[in-house]
Amino acid sequence: MKLTKSCWLCALVVGLAFGSLGAKDRDDNKKKPAREKSNAPVNRPATPGTDKPSGTPRSGPSSDSRVGSKPEQGSDSSQRPKGSDTPPNNNVRSTPSEPKVKETGAPVNRSTRPADARPAEKVPLVTKETPGGGQIKTTPSGQVREKAEKKSDGEHVKQFTPTGRVQKEVVQKTDGTQQTVHYAANGRVQKTVVVARDGARETTQVQYDRNGRERAAETVKVDARGREVSKTVVVKQTTVLVRNTTIVNNTTIVRNYDRSRYGFVYHPVYVARSPVFISWYDPYWYSPAGVLVVHPFRYSWGWEDHGWYRHHHHYWATYEVYPAPCYWVTDWLIAGYVADRYATEVSLAQAREEARLAREDAERAREAAAQARVEAEIAEAHAAQRDAEARLAKAEARAAKAEAEEAKTKELAAKAPANATPIDPETKEVLRVQVERTIAEKKAFAEQSSSGGNPVPADLSSALADPKHIYPVSVPVSVIAAADQAPAGTLTEGDLLRLEPGQEKTLKEADENTFVTMRVMTSKGEEGEVKAGTLVSIPLKTLQDFDSEFRAKLDLGLAEADKNKEQFKSAKL
């Protein structure tokens, strides 16, 4: 009996001891963050001969966030341009995952959560029929969000923002096509998309000048299988570069482009007996063998009072005397590029107008939030207000920049910006020879067309084969450095580039997405612009655009030279 009682007491003591230990373990476990269940592979030590842990996916950084795990340092080849000869950057760190948060069961303080932390609820709309088979959809507070009307050409549906402006209009036409017009925050047409019944698509992007006037419209056609077919650019409000000019306000210039290996290739329309070629190859300027005959003349451009010239006159020096029209066209061409740069910059007045519209939008959004009746409508109005305030901040920053640039232009007067590298005489001569050679190619193309042939417009291949070829930049583009693929700055209209030698292997199997290394030869010295001498990586599709624009501009230069042909002869020295 005593033995049994002793055993029972021993068991009781041992049970109490283990129970205490178990309780302690449970308390300790509560203090530790719960391990989340995951189907991701375990991050094991790296396998010899590789730079990735065994069991880790080959793409992307490791998802293991345990203490002591190191960022993966594998190849970043996925971020390198296709065809680039630049070695990979092995110093890229993976982004650490977010630390796990202890679950306490306490209620979430939603006032501290980001506004976009959860999906926005859709605002319920009330539909009301209108005479003629139309509809109006409103929010619970009575704001119009959609208006449908039936017209002779089809059904028109307009969609409105919380601030009341038209966001887009969809027209379902009777022939089966659908047209969608997208409007910018300032109310101007931004983009138009027309989809045919078979799925073919035409997308038109509208560009505006520094004063808010329509400057150009670019239309890209895509077939039913999604392949780009052609491009058409309609240019309006072209800057007047010469006094006796054919290019005036409201003149429309249409340029056609065909899809080719590296992108869109400019397709000129002219014949061999075109007046521009007759006047250009006048025996007064060229011998029967095609040798240039020099008859120097002077020409006064009269650019001093134009804003674009005051901003960029330091970038190049015009010829004091023109030996032949090809020298004159070279100056005209450079002027055309820098005038384009000035035209695409936002003016001080335009920036202030954009700021006014954004401020007005923000106020309307605040009023919409105050009148809203349901939570979803309030959230939508607040989102519109944040968007308007962000636009306001950007517009005010642009206005401040434009004001500073105008003051700087007046202050510097004849001085060039500190980082500017103007076009030197040697580079300008290479460009002049390129102009003369390209015009000869245009004449040969016209002669083949007139004789019944079907010549193919010159694409980028001929330019890439010429190591001296110069590529004038025709649109602003942000570029990366060739050495490490880091952001290098911006190239703007008129900057000159040249292909860096030693890339024959890359070009052999290149396509439009292949990046090549280019040397920046000149720079206007604007804020954020790439400095001359920098090596940058640019896709061949962008170079094709630059080369096509060069050829298109040259056609305008030929027309201007033809217009002034008698003045060239009468001004002979």
The conformation of residue 82, written as its DSSP 8-state character, comes to: B
- Do 145 and 375 form a contact (C-beta atoms < 8 A)? no
Could you write out the DSSP letters of every residue in 400-465?
Answer: HHHHHHHHHHHHHTTPPPTT-BPPPHHHHHHHHHHHHHHHHHHHHHHHHHHTT--PPPP-HHHHHT
**Region at 55 (left for phi over 0; alpha for psi -120 to 50; beta for the rest):** left
- Do 409 and 310 form a contact (C-beta atoms < 8 A)? yes
Q: How far apart are CA 399 and CA 67, in angstroms?
A: 49
Residues whose CB falls within 8 Å of the CB of residue 462, separated by 6 or more in sequence, listed in order: 441
Per-residue pLDDT of the chain (573 residues; tens, 9 = 90+): 444 444 444 444 444 444 444 444 444 444 444 433 333 333 333 333 333 333 333 333 333 333 333 334 333 443 444 444 444 443 333 333 333 333 333 333 333 334 444 556 889 999 999 998 899 999 999 999 999 999 999 999 999 999 999 999 999 999 999 999 999 988 999 999 999 999 999 999 999 988 888 989 999 999 999 999 999 999 886 666 665 544 444 578 899 999 999 999 999 876 656 788 889 999 999 999 989 999 999 999 999 888 899 889 999 999 999 999 999 999 999 999 999 999 888 788 888 888 999 999 999 999 999 999 899 999 999 999 999 999 999 989 988 888 887 777 666 666 778 889 999 999 999 999 999 999 999 998 888 888 888 888 889 999 999 999 999 999 999 999 999 999 999 999 999 999 999 999 999 999 999 999 999 999 999 889 999 999 999 999 999 999 999 999 999 999 999 999 999 999 887
Q: How far apart are CA 332 and CA 556, in angstroms?
A: 10
Which of 468, 432, 438 lies closest to 323 in space, CA to CA? 432
The pTM assigned to this predicted structure is: 0.74
CB atoms within 10 A of CB 196: 14
Which 3 state secondary structure label does DSSP give 524? coil
H-helix or E-strand containing 479?
strand 477-481
CB atoms within 10 A of CB 37: 5
User: In 184-319, where do the E strands start and end?
Assistant: 189-195, 201-208, 214-222, 228-235, 253-260, 263-266
Q: How far is CA 168 from CA 16, 155, 165, 184, 221, in A?
A: 75, 14, 9, 9, 21
For the sheet with 487-491, list strands across it.
471-472, 496-499, 515-520, 535-539, 477-481, 487-491
